[in-house]
Structure 1
């Protein structure tokens, strides 16, 4: 199945970002892609809570979700909207960081809210407190598709191997990791983590990423790592997209999952144990 990762540089203007992603999605479909994936926070990258309150919407009203559902239906493709920043009804006003899997009829097949919040001090100059503005999800999600079961995750989730093991135990053969990774942690850990999750689980790992310096109307400037990746179930990096925005096409072959798991059947060797 021809599949495409979109590597983009979202601004803090959802309408502007929607037009960019619509155009790239159409181009990817013209190139033969039947499954297209976008990065984390496709609709808005912003360091300003004030700006987010101004431009973000509830799911029912979100222009990016509506626009990309329509585009998927028009093109007849599967689409993973890596995630959207979405307003919620939470009393504390926090947003959801929510991934959507859309079928070729434009219907929402699955939703997943990011479970693990990126609350870290990367360096003296770079601190993130994702949980201040986003509330964590609680439910892991595996979605059935015509090309195999898909386990949905987002960005910082990649550091929590037990989540991926649980998705695989529920039948996932493809793991999605849409991201907006920090350049510092990206350079140090991005590839290693993606390859580890692929090898441990004998799964395809598909990781579309935000990249570069993100245009803004207010707040601090945000930079992201880029290097969208496709890792095979054997742990081979088949695509490393570098740092330029673009469309990256590859063939998603389910037989590679079967072959990797045949060669090293570690999933069938899992054993219960006591302690420590």
Structure 2
């Protein structure tokens, strides 16, 4: 199966982002992709809750999602919107992935589980949970001969999620992201390769890249990793584009045969939790 990771430089206007995405999906389809993954916050990349409230549309009847369903059907391709903000009743938002089948219908959604709440030396505290509500359910979906496991950006730092997805049958792990430049330079490649190695799965990571309207700068470097941890393809820059790789179930079986970590894993009592 040929898969594609789409790299974007999303701004604040959903329709402008949709037009840019449409051209990139055409490129992915022309390149033979049966599945295309877009980055986190593909359709709007806000910096704060006020910007979100101005343009974030409800999930039901969402105009840009309806257009993407039409594109998926026209291209006969699975289209995975890495994420977009969805308003919730409590005033916060879900950071939601939406997965379209080649017929244009939504076949799965996933709300980002892990939220970045941190006190950083020299900077104000960052509380993603003040704006977003974390999900509480891991999600897999059928993708031809593969099973797709869902995650979003900061999730990649939590290995237990990916082990759980792999144990549930996932052998292709999606990681849409909007990594900052410093953390991207330090951790992007090593974390994605680690998630592939420890689960014996393919990892596809679609990234935001470059300087955005909201003042943020993101790392780019969308890539696809094989189950042995080798980078099959990468956009070695932060500009919009599409990267392709051909993936094969045999590589999953071989990696898991050579290092049967999933089969060998055991439950154990952690210090301080006994009895």
Aligned to 1:263: 258
TM-score (norm 1): 0.94
- The alignment partner of 1:12 has SS state of coil
Q: Distance in 2 between matches of 1:44 and 1:149?
A: 28
Q: Distance in 2 between matches of 1:126 and 1:40?
A: 23
- The alignment partner of 2:197 has SS state of helix
The one-character-per-residue Cα deviations of 1:162-208 (angstroms, maximum 9, x if unpaired) are: 11111111010011010001111111111111111100000001110
Pick aligned residue for 1:223 from 217, 226, 231: 217
- Determine if the alignment matches structure 1 residue 67 to structure 2 residue 62: no
- The alignment partner of 1:149 has SS state of strand
- The alignment partner of 1:136 has SS state of coil
Q: Distance in 2 between matches of 1:25 and 1:125?
A: 38
C-alpha contact (below 8 Å) 1:4/1:250 kept by paired residues: yes
Pick aligned residue for 1:142 from 140, 143, 148: 140
- Residue 126 (structure 1) shift: 7.5
How many correspondences in the alignment?
270
Q: Distance in 1 between matches of 2:9 and 2:124?
A: 19
Pick aligned residue for 2:158 from 153, 157, 160: 160
- Residue 139 (structure 1) shift: 0.6
- The alignment partner of 2:224 has SS state of strand
Q: Distance in 2 between matches of 1:124 and 1:239?
A: 37
Q: Distance in 2 between matches of 1:132 and 1:3?
A: 35
Unmatched tracts of structure 1, length 5 or more:
none
Alignment of 1:1-276 (within 5 A): 1-88=1-88, 90-91=89-90, 93-121=91-119, 124=122, 128-216=126-214, 221-241=215-235, 242-276=237-271
- Runs of 4+ more than 3 Å apart: 121-128
Unmatched tracts of structure 2, length 5 or more:
none
Q: Distance in 2 between matches of 1:161 and 1:44?
A: 28
TM-score (norm 2): 0.94
Q: Distance in 2 between matches of 1:114 and 1:34?
A: 24
C-alpha contact (below 8 Å) 1:212/1:226 kept by paired residues: yes
C-alpha contact (below 8 Å) 1:24/1:247 kept by paired residues: yes
- The alignment partner of 2:143 has SS state of coil
C-alpha contact (below 8 Å) 2:149/2:166 kept by paired residues: yes
CA RMSD in angstroms, aligned pairs only: 1.4
Q: Distance in 2 between matches of 1:147 and 1:264?
A: 22
Q: Distance in 2 between matches of 1:63 and 1:252?
A: 33
C-alpha contact (below 8 Å) 2:9/2:212 kept by paired residues: yes
C-alpha contact (below 8 Å) 1:114/1:154 kept by paired residues: yes
Are residues 206 and 166 of structure 1, via their aligned partners in 2, closer, same or farther at CA, if it must alter by over 3 Å?
same
Q: Distance in 1 between matches of 2:228 and 2:70?
A: 35
